[in-house]
Amino acid sequence: NNCTNDADQDGTFDLLDACPLLAGYQSLDFRKSTIINFSDNRPKWQIFDQGREVMQTDAGDLSLLLANARFGSFQLSGTLFVNSEEDDDYIGFVFAYQSNRRFYLVMWKRR
């Protein structure tokens, strides 16, 4: 029975499926991402949870970590947080990246 390990029959085992009961939902895998640094003061990125979680562990200058994924219409959900009382740099995410001059950016600054 295909439903034993793949309840929504989308070809992804339930254990690895972002939404095991609904086909068509998927998570990004940041293990094959591209890092774009805008200076020599580069931050350190770490990737956890089989590519589903990203953390910048050492702050640096402006940097982008881009998932190598293409989507048409999509709905995004996730969690962003700053685990520091002192750091008030920007945090955000990029989508529809085409070049260093053509992309959409959603960002926040704590203060």
Could you report the per-residue pLDDT of 69-96, keeping only the tens digit for each? 777 777 777 788 887 777 777 888 888 8
pLDDT at 1: 47
* Greatest mean pLDDT range, 17-21, 55-59, 105-109: 105-109
Structure tokens at 82: 């700053």
Instruction: Write out pLDDT tens, residues 31-80.
Output: 888 888 888 888 889 999 888 888 888 877 888 888 887 777 777 777 88
> How many residues in the chain?
111
Answer whether residue 27 shows pLDDT above 70.
yes
The pLDDT value recorded for residue 3 is 54
